[in-house]
Chains A and B, each alone.
Chain A
Amino acid sequence: MINHILHSSLLKYFLKRLAMAVLVLFLVSVIVFIAVRACPGDPVLSKIGPHGDASEENYNRVAAELGLDKPYPVQYFIWLGGFLRGDFGVSLINGADIRATILEKLPVTLELLVISMVFAILLAIVFGVTSAIYKGSVYDQIIQFISTGFLAIPAFCFGLIVILIFAVDLKILPSMGFVSFAEDPAGHIRHLIMPVLVMGFMEQAALTRYIRSEMLEVLSTNYVRTAKAKGLPTQAIYYKHAFKNVMVTVVTLVGMRIGQLIGGTVVIEQVFGWSGLGWYLYTSVVKQDYPAVQAIVLLIAAAMVILNMLADVLYAAIDPRIKLD
């Protein structure tokens, strides 16, 4: 493994992917910067407020204070420089430090994200492997039917149906809201169940399909056939030989899918009133709090670029058959 990593072609591949990632990150930051500058509304006027002094003198003063009097390229580099130093600016709405708010909301979203992802992976492994082993059986058909169904429904629709069942009809779970774990641990978990259920089942659909097809491919390889011919017990073949290989795919898939899952939290947090980063982004968009929108979107896109790069490199490191080009 160590030898393989030190192998020069892999190192070269890593450096190449790193250079690509930096370039992509630069383009991403330009897109975010342009999009936010193109937004309707004048940030200077909204800073002054509807009842403030909008005279030309005061307008120019506030514009200079916000750094908006400089040409766009200069504004861009000042903003980017600030961002790289971890200075995300302050909210246009209430003057709160954006970094502090993000740091407060991030763990809330990460908790939801990580638990849902683990739940989705477990479901997908059980479904995908079962459906591949019993290919063509009733189980396979039911599982395929379920995953096809989940691919055809928006997450928020499924969320509303889950609320309808568990909160409105059965009245066993609170329909929405967020309680911090420190305040009320049991309440916190009760509020967490439905969003996790929804995100887990939604994400499971795509993962199950990948795992099923990967497992089918592995099961048709020569070494699995050899193991069968040797007379190894079927269970051992499935779990020791086939499944190990499928795990490589799972690792990569998680890296690839995590971004879409983060996107999914925006809608899910809105449905369940879970006050995390997605909720913060949504309220910032609605209130036209551009510095906050800018910071959240760029942060998440950056996380995605880096995670994708790591997934690619990890995949190449684990599986020597991957062509490094």
Chain B
Amino acid sequence: MKVKTKKEEKLQRKKVRVTTVFSVVLLAVALFAMLFPSVLATHDPLELDIVNQLSGPSREHILGTDELGRDLWSRVVYGARVSMSVGLGSALLALILGVPLGLLAAYKGGILDSIIMRVMDAFSSFPSIMLAMLLMTVFEASTLTLILTIAIVSFPAYGRIVRSSALSIKERDYIEAARVSGAKPGYLMFHAILPNCMSGIIVQFSLFTASAILIEASLSFLGLGIKPPDPAWGSMLSYAKQYIDRSATYILVPTITIFLVVLAINLLGDELRERLDPTRQK
């Protein structure tokens, strides 16, 4: 009897898609590049090669070089250190800020709810890149301040999502039962309500990581990110732009990198949404 249900379960489980395999492999490579760039890189990202400036792909430089003859593949690999860690770090920090606020607003309701929501409204009234620009003029650019800035820009969206799912869960009978039996508010919020919001939070985490990478890229393209010579994908492009008529590979390498990483995260997010949310069907 037990064997049969397991078999049925297996049949019901969706097949692993090509896009999912692609996303997982790509993200694994990107994470590896973030943690151990020296293993993947073929050159020192700051090493100059004056003879080979703005060259195309060659045996020596597999993806070509930039205006100072630095190896583009190695720079993209080392760029993951900034771009990936800012993306993941700020999505995580936004979660740490947004989730408790959303839970608290939903659980307490009333005036506290209104205050929390209006503050979040205020932060989300700015176009995200503009608020990020404003904050980056306040802070000195570093990985940490980029994480903080992008987290401030995106935490209201988190808070709002958690609040709305917590509001519907709050009304369920088992929460009421736990309350009546004397559970403390902290226990109710974090042990009874939060686990039921988790699937939405996980999906949002992937989407926020993707958008954080895009914001970081735009900021460093505008010269408000990590200062040169350390590579970041966005800042590489602001230099590439000056040589756009001399080297197309210089533009294409960072662009394709950002595109593939963000695409992989988004595809994984879609996949997670379909698997975790039984009400949403394709």
Contact = CB atoms under 8 A, between A and B. Distances in A.
B127 A260 contact: yes
Contacts of B263: 148-149, 152
Contacts of A68: none
B128 A260 contact: yes
A263 B127 CA distance: 5
B241 to A, nearest CB: 6
A264 B130 CA distance: 9
B217 A154 contact: yes
Interface stretch (B61-69, B115-123, B188-196): B115-123
Given A27-B119, A160-B251, A161-B255, A285 B126 contact: no
A22 to B, nearest CB: 10
B38 to A, nearest CB: 27
B118 A24 contact: yes
Nearest to B248: A164
B214 A154 contact: yes
B266 A39 contact: no
A281 B55 CA distance: 35
A215 B231 CA distance: 44
Given A154-B258, A157-B237, A288 B244 contact: no
Contacts of A38: 138
B140 interface: yes
B222 A168 contact: no
Contacts of A266: 127, 129-130, 133, 222
A313 to B, nearest CB: 15
Contact of B221 (A156, A161, A175): A156
Contact of A293 (B119, B137, B267): B137
Contacts of A267: 129, 218, 221-222
Contacts of B134: 32, 35-36, 285, 293, 297
Given A154-B218, A157-B255, A168-B248, A304 B121 contact: no
Given A156-B221, A285-B133, A24 B126 contact: no
Q: Most chain-A CB neighbours within 10 Å: which of B218, B224, B237?
A: B218
B135 interface: yes
A196 to B, nearest CB: 19
Given A266-B130, A297-B134, A153 B122 contact: no
Q: Most chain-B CB neighbours within 10 Å: which of A40, A156, A266, A281?
A: A156
Interface string A259-288: 111111011001100000000011001101
A193 interface: no
Contacts, number: 135
A62 B70 CA distance: 48
A110 interface: no
B84 to A, nearest CB: 15
A109 to B, nearest CB: 12
A305 interface: yes
A200 B131 CA distance: 23
A20 B127 contact: no
B215 to A, nearest CB: 9
Interface in B200-240: 210, 214, 217-218, 221-224, 234, 237, 240
B259 A157 contact: yes
A47 to B, nearest CB: 18
Given A151-B266, A271-B241, A24 B125 contact: yes
A27 to B, nearest CB: 4
A264 B121 CA distance: 20
A250 interface: no
B245 A168 contact: yes
Interface in B83-110: none
B137 A39 contact: yes
B72 to A, nearest CB: 15
Nearest to B133: A285
A35 B130 contact: no
B125 A305 contact: yes
Contact of B258 (A20, A157, A305): A157
Interface string A232-272: 00000000000000000000000000011111101100110
28 contacts: A23-B118, A24-B118, A24-B125, A27-B122, A35-B135, A35-B137, A40-B140, A149-B259, A151-B262, A151-B266, A153-B258, A153-B262, A156-B217, A156-B218, A156-B237, A157-B259, A160-B244, A160-B251, A160-B255, A164-B248, A175-B245, A259-B126, A262-B127, A263-B126, A266-B222, A267-B222, A285-B134, A304-B125
Interface of B: 118-119, 121-123, 125-131, 133-135, 137-138, 140, 210, 214, 217-218, 221-224, 234, 237, 240-241, 244-245, 248, 251-252, 254-255, 258-259, 262-263, 266-267
Identify the 5 closest CB pairs spanning chains A and B, nearest first: A263-B127, A27-B122, A152-B263, A152-B262, A157-B255
